[in-house]
Amino acid sequence: MTDFTYSVDADGVATIAWDVPGKSMNVMSREGFALVSDMVDGALADPAVKGIVVTSGKKDFAGGMDLNVLASIRAEAGENPAQALFDFTMSGHRILRKLERAGMDPKTLKGAKPVVCAIPGTCAGIGTEIALACHRRIMADNPRAKIGLPEILVGLFPGGGGTTRYSRMVGAMAAAPVLLEGKMLEPKAAKAAGLVDEVVAPDQLLARAKEWVLAATDADTVKPWDQKGWKMPGGAPYHPAGFMTFVGANAMVLGKTQGVYPAAKALLAAVYEGALVPFDTALTIEARWFTSVLMNPSSSAMIRSLFLNKEALEKGANRPQVADQTVRKLGVLGAGMMGAGIAYVAANAGIEVVLIDATQEAADRGKSHSEGLLDKGMKRGKVTAAKKAEVLGRITATTDYAALAGCDLVVEAVFEDMKVKAEVTAKAEAVLPEGAIFATNTSTLPISDLAKASRRPAQFIGIHFFSPVDKMMLVEIIRGRGTRDVAVAKALDFVRQIRKTPIVVNDARFFYANRCIIPYINEGIRMVAEGVEPALVENAARLLGFPVGPLQLVDETSIDLGVKIAKATRAAMGAAYPDEAVDAVLFAMADKGRLGRKANAGFYAYDEKGGRTGLWEGLAGLWPVAAAQPDLAEVQHRLMLVQVLEAVRALEEGVLTDIREGDVGAILGWGFAPWSGGPFSWLDMIGAGKAVEVCEGLAGKGARFAAPELLRDMATKGQSFYGRFGTDARAA
């Protein structure tokens, strides 16, 4: 069994079919590369072979490179990992270049064997780069298929020749959405974007590919950049039009990334520098930049968190050893914003749903949320009428708790009120089967307290979604004191069914995500109260790579919600409550009716259409801007440290039990600077010693900046989080 199969038909058309055994999606391994190389050699040397079809034995073409390969090359390389990564990248270039030249006489540009890529389904990363090296790309008109180069989304850029080839095919400007934003395109859009040449009916794919091979002429097998007098579409950098493109692209990238993503800069540099030299030199330049990105701690942290660890968590890294708990019938209590969203994602994943609210009208309104989302999907051509009917058919909207009979999981999302939640728990449990698991979507109430209302606290758990449910990929699962493994397994299996990413944490105030995000918002507000220029606060956050500043974030989540949480926290903590200064600002904003985006007025001003027009000018009247402003680094340290120290405390206290969950949860849950790989990865990047030093520098700002004991201990011992708590450390 090998990753590729090779055959030659009676007409002399060789087929190299990618079909990694035991996997639903092809991914490229080191052995796979070597095999393709041998097969290409064989086909080119065999006089009976007229041309080559590269395709897949699966419904999709490829998911990309197995990123574990890159990690293992680095790990095995010893003294000089950069050299090993560069050599590996260059060997990939040589193989694809061999495929692209296909035996062509370099002088006459004649005699190449035509090579076509027949793409049956989704094609990403190195899969697309192989396709780009072929002479022609034919894609099946498969509505579920997409093609693209999404490397940038995990902190890399296409380093298998994709950057150089695609930018030369369509020009730097046109290539930007695919290369710089990692956009994956449907077949027809891919044709318009020049990624593929033809889109054909799925059952015609191989026949058409073969037909093309047999009819291809010498001219069809010479890439434009191998022809004399080739010019870069849109203009090379020294051409006036090209110059404009590159200046604009630089500004755009910097504006979007704030310069914190090394891969985006390296990609631009590879395109720019590559455009100044012949093709093969451009590939070497691409390989050098790719190596530089692979060696950058940000890229390895992003790959670790956004690819390796995210996938490990989705595959059940922390799932207790309990029999399969796949959910068949789900009850959702409360058809408001969250309940309606939960019902939708579950029904969409094929689960039967009973959606309950206090009135039929409210229950129906909850169901219509699904209808709205499905209609949107239909408008974008993603959902068929049949699919819409099927998904809606799975949701029963009712007020009748008896309909919960037979549900194996219930998630309640009623008002955030202990009494209301206790009532619905009892009502549901009265009709649920003995083995059913009851989950709460509370954001702030302790799971162990809510479990007191349950007859079966061992089967009671927190399943905390983020808003909007259909978009946010993280689900935080919270074990109460009495929660047993079967409930955790149920929650994890449910999250797997709805294709989201789970983290499992222990019960404590605000669990994990909100525990870290609230201090971020509060620190921003606290600085406004201190007289720090609000624009400095917001820009400091953006420059750290946070998608939104703390003041914008509180506007989005609403200031009255902030007030509610502050009041409840104050009541629970009594004299120990540390956030009076924050509340003074929050409460004043609420009194003025500046409740955030929903009121079209908050820390920001908005136009009638709800667009932000800038920070609200009235802020300075209420909290005068001080004459002396802190420097940018201090503001950034405050915004960063309040979050990461909370994450460390969560680990120290056993709320978090796995730093991978801390990192993945932070990026997916609240957009924690993705370039950093998450709070623990960020701390590892700067080092525990430096982090303690920064804490000491901020000591005067309050106890929240006191370095946790764990961090001090690690600083003394010179340890990193992944060194001390990573999976390798655990296994040792």
Hey, which residues are catalytic here? 464
Q: Say if residues 552 and 538 touch (Cβ distance below 8 Å).
A: yes
Whole-angstrom distance between the N-terminal and C-terminal Cα of the chain?
Answer: 33
| Position 57 contacts ligand NAD (CB under 6 A) | no
| Position 503 contacts ligand NAD (CB under 6 A) | no
Closest approach, Cβ 359 to ligand NAD, in A, equals 7
Query: Where do the DSSP E strands lie in 466-536?
Result: 474-479, 501-506
Q: Give me the phi and psi of 265, to 5 degrees please.
A: -65, -45
| Position 28 contacts ligand NAD (CB under 6 A) | no
Q: How do beta strands 13-18 and 51-56 pair? A: parallel
| Position 171 contacts ligand NAD (CB under 6 A) | no
Q: How many residues does the chain have?
A: 732
Among 230, 238, 243, 415, binds ligand NAD (CB under 6 A): 415
Among 322, 337, 535, 620, binds ligand NAD (CB under 6 A): 337
Closest approach, Cβ 450 to ligand NAD, in A, equals 10
DSSP state letters, 287-305: HHHHHHHHTSHHHHHHIII
Q: How many CB atoms lie within 10 A of CB 504?
A: 26
Contact window for ligand NAD (CB under 6 A) among 17-25, 350-358, 538-546, 689-697: 350-358
Closest approach, Cβ 559 to ligand NAD, in A, equals 14
Judged by beta carbon, residue 156 or residue 450, the one nearer ligand NAD is 450
| Position 413 contacts ligand NAD (CB under 6 A) | yes
**Which residues have CB under 8 Å from 411's CB, separation 6+?**
330, 331, 332, 333, 339, 342, 439, 440, 441, 463
Closest approach, Cβ 366 to ligand NAD, in A, equals 7
Specify the 3-state DSSP secondary structure of 583. helix
Closest approach, Cβ 439 to ligand NAD, in A, equals 11
Contact window for ligand NAD (CB under 6 A) among 20-28, 370-378, 420-428, 701-709: 420-428
| Position 333 contacts ligand NAD (CB under 6 A) | yes
Best CA proximity match to 9, nearest among 38, 61, 52: 52
| Position 715 contacts ligand NAD (CB under 6 A) | no
Contact window for ligand NAD (CB under 6 A) among 27-35, 409-417, 446-454, 686-694: 409-417
H or E element at residue 116: strand 115-119
Among 138, 156, 267, 335, binds ligand NAD (CB under 6 A): 335
Q: What share of the chain is helix, strand, coil (3-state, %, to 5)?
A: 55, 15, 35
Return the DSSP state at 558.
Answer: -
Among 71, 77, 254, 358, binds ligand NAD (CB under 6 A): 358
Closest approach, Cβ 363 to ligand NAD, in A, equals 8
Contact window for ligand NAD (CB under 6 A) among 112-120, 297-305, 351-359, 580-588: 351-359
Judged by beta carbon, residue 293 or residue 373, the one nearer ligand NAD is 373
Among 117, 123, 138, 338, binds ligand NAD (CB under 6 A): 338
Q: How many Cα atoms occupy the beta-carbon half-sphere of 479 within 13 Å? A: 21
| Position 344 contacts ligand NAD (CB under 6 A) | no
Closest approach, Cβ 336 to ligand NAD, in A, equals 2
Contact window for ligand NAD (CB under 6 A) among 337-345, 368-376, 498-506, 574-582: 337-345
In whole angstroms, give the CA distance from residue 579 to residue 576: 9
| Position 334 contacts ligand NAD (CB under 6 A) | yes
* Helices 632-652 + 679-686 axis angle, to 10: 120
DSSP state letters, 148-160: E-GGGGGT---TT
DSSP state letters, 344-393: HHHHHTT-EEEEE-SSHHHHHHHHHHHHHHHHHHHHTTSS-HHHHHHHHH
Scanning residues 616 to 645, which ones bind ligand NAD (CB under 6 A)?
none
Judged by beta carbon, residue 114 or residue 462, the one nearer ligand NAD is 462
| Position 671 contacts ligand NAD (CB under 6 A) | no
Closest approach, Cβ 374 to ligand NAD, in A, equals 20
**Which residues have CB under 8 Å from 228's CB, separation 6+?**
none
Judged by beta carbon, residue 387 or residue 564, the one nearer ligand NAD is 564
Closest approach, Cβ 404 to ligand NAD, in A, equals 11
DSSP state letters, 642-711: HHHHHHHHHHHTTS---HHHHHHHHHHHH---GGGTSHHHHHHHH-HHHHHHHHHHTGGG-GGGSPPHHH
Best CA proximity match to 39, nearest among 88, 1, 5, 2: 5
Judged by beta carbon, residue 334 or residue 726, the one nearer ligand NAD is 334
Among 378, 420, 543, 686, binds ligand NAD (CB under 6 A): 420
**Which residues have CB under 8 Å from 424's CB, separation 6+?**
333, 334, 412, 414
Judged by beta carbon, residue 184 or residue 595, the one nearer ligand NAD is 595
| Position 364 contacts ligand NAD (CB under 6 A) | no
Judged by beta carbon, residue 247 or residue 405, the one nearer ligand NAD is 405
Closest approach, Cβ 415 to ligand NAD, in A, equals 5
| Position 664 contacts ligand NAD (CB under 6 A) | no
Closest approach, Cβ 440 to ligand NAD, in A, equals 7
Residue type, 322: V
| Position 320 contacts ligand NAD (CB under 6 A) | no
Q: For residue 261, what are its two tokens?
A: 């993503």
Judged by beta carbon, residue 390 or residue 470, the one nearer ligand NAD is 470
Radius of gyration of the chain (CA): 28
| Position 209 contacts ligand NAD (CB under 6 A) | no
Among 237, 259, 336, 671, binds ligand NAD (CB under 6 A): 336
| Position 354 contacts ligand NAD (CB under 6 A) | no
Scanning residues 428 to 467, which ones bind ligand NAD (CB under 6 A)?
441-443, 464-465, 467
Q: How many CB atoms lie within 10 A of CB 417?
A: 11
Contact window for ligand NAD (CB under 6 A) among 206-214, 330-338, 452-460, 598-606: 330-338
| Position 472 contacts ligand NAD (CB under 6 A) | no
Closest approach, Cβ 371 to ligand NAD, in A, equals 16
Q: For residue 237, what are its two tokens?
A: 């950098």
Judged by beta carbon, residue 307 or residue 465, the one nearer ligand NAD is 465
Judged by beta carbon, residue 146 or residue 369, the one nearer ligand NAD is 369
| Alpha helical stretches, state H, 182-314 | 187-192, 205-215, 240-257, 262-274, 279-294, 297-302, 310-314
| Position 362 contacts ligand NAD (CB under 6 A) | yes
CA angle 605, 609, 615 (to 5 degrees): 15
H or E element at residue 168: helix 162-170
Per rule CB under 6 A, count of chain residues that contact ligand NAD: 24
Among 151, 186, 357, 538, binds ligand NAD (CB under 6 A): 357
In whole angstroms, give the CA distance from residue 55 to residue 17: 5
| Position 187 contacts ligand NAD (CB under 6 A) | no
For ligand NAD, the binding residues (CB under 6 A) are 333-339, 356-358, 362, 413-416, 420, 423-424, 441-443, 464-465, 467
